[in-house]
Amino acid sequence: MTSSHNMVPQLHIHPILWLFALTAVLTGTLAEFLVIFFIVVVHELGHYLAAKWYGWRIRKINLWVFGGVMETEEHSSKPIREEAWIIAAGPLQHLWIYGVLFLCKESSAMPASLVEIGFLYNTTILLFNLLPIWPLDGGKMVFLLLSYIFPFRLAHTLTIVSSIAFSLAAVVSLLLFFPFTLSAVMLTGFILWENRLEWKQRYYIFLRFLLKRYLTPITEKSKIRPVIVNPNTRLLHVFFRFKRGQTHHIYVKPSKRQSDWLEEHTCLDAYFKMKQHQISAGELLSRSK
């Protein structure tokens, strides 16, 4: 748990949000926009406060329509359960917002029309963020689930592929079954653009995961999972088998001795510190004896 020092996050408003604000002014829907902005800020503060509780280092919060992105220094280096709580902390804020809106409705503290708008957008933003699309909370939960089952690199690739597929299906549904709206087109375009960037950066994201793992080895009690490779397997392909929250022993087969294995930190050290990017697992094992 962290202290209250430096508890105010740095907020960055995405240009698309300014565009939505301008559209709201021009179309006379400023009240609706302010309601959406308030709910989005509360949602992101839920993520932020949960992250500070666990001692995460936060760079800033990027706000955009119907959600935002909290940028951290952790890069998939924390326990999956811990990250799951931080992701869930955003959607959980909508529950007390429902309570406040209900009290306002019963006490007539707010105009009935504004309360109804609040109920509508609180539900819309909650459901939208639970969609299995990256970088929404639902997409991040999918990534955590896949990371629990598959190695990090495969889990990340499957997350982005499924996110793009779901996004395209949503676009087709919007065009076929719902009336055309500028906000829906802008939001869909933004989501697809974010997924495109994530796909282009997937190799960099994987290397960042490895580097973070190398610099801050897993200190918690974790399951040891063997990774069995042949002697010609390059280190990078060995790393493709690494999973979050698990420590790996790399066994090189066939081997004359059952005890012939490498610690994952030895492999990471050879790759990042010694710059032996092309070395194979068999060669590293022979040098380590």
Q: What is each CA distance from 52 to 2, 72, 95, 130, 261, in whole angstroms?
A: 6, 11, 21, 22, 39
| Distance between start and end Cα atoms, the chain | 43
Strands 58-64 vs 261-263: parallel, antiparallel or unpaired: unpaired
Which is the catalytic residue, given 44, 82, 194, 198? 44
Q: In whole angstroms, what is the distance from residue 242 CA to residue 258 CA?
A: 21
Question: Sheet harboring 246-252: ordered strands across?
Answer: 223-229, 246-252, 261-263
Strands 11-13 and 58-64: parallel
What are residue 252's phi and psi, to 5 degrees? -100, 115
Angle between helical axes of 137-149 and 152-177 (0-180°, round to 10): 140
**Crossing angle, helix 202-215 and helix 264-272, to 10 degrees?**
120
Q: At what angle do helices 182-200 and 152-177 cross, to 10 degrees?
A: 160
Is residue 74 part of the annotated active site? The answer reads: no
Residue with tokens 């940028």: 71
For the annotated catalytic residues, the residue numbers are 44
